[in-house]
Amino acid sequence: MAELFDIYDEHGVWIGTAERQEVHRLGLWHRTVHCWLVRREESEGRTATRVLFQQRSANKDTGASCFDITAAGHLEAGETHEAIVRELQEELGVTVRFEQLREFGIVREQGSGIIGGLSYIDNEVSRVYGLITELELADFRLQEEEVAGLYEADADELIELMEGRRELVRARGVAHLQGKLQAVEAEIACSSFVERDTEYYISVFKFLQELVRR
């Protein structure tokens, strides 16, 4: 059965529903939810902010194998932004109440490309959240068909990366290898992330730092 999305005009007024493929073919405005997870880490008298981010599956039709938001998804017709708790459960095995999330704000994104020889236009309005977690990387249960791995890195270093003040960030993580989750490390460039306005990443990482400092 085809996925149905609620669709909106450029002013955010609901105008009906359409199938996912049609939404992306015509560039219809639709809604998604993002949630970034962050851990507080005490080290040498300093409180560090460790940002968690996923590596998308190699089988994804867009952004395959790229690093991305910890958990995110499209809202199907009739769903509200509280559906982000479902995405957290499905993709990461994390069970939380919606009230535990802290809202960053609303982001409008536009993109386009070609998938399987067909052009697509992606016009999204995303509600973005943050969540402090005490889970260790090995505690997560990753949805293998969607998530190849889960990594974390220092927020200050990620901000420097997105601002062009460093070329690489070292991240530690867990990834599906040989049929099981294994500890891994990676050196990650800005271009390793899903292509977005870098200001999105910078603003979110600073927001996550403020969550940890509260």
173 backbone dihedrals φ, ψ, rounded to 5°: -165, -170
204 backbone dihedrals φ, ψ, rounded to 5°: -65, -45
Write out the E strands in the chain.
Answer: 4-8, 14-19, 29-43, 46-56, 67-68, 71-74, 102-115, 118-132, 147-154, 169-177, 180-188
Question: What is the mean pLDDT of the segment spanning 5-23?
Answer: 96
At 1 the pLDDT is 76
pTM for this entry: 0.94
Residue 45 has pLDDT above 80, yes or no: no
d(C-alpha 56, C-alpha 68), whole Å: 7
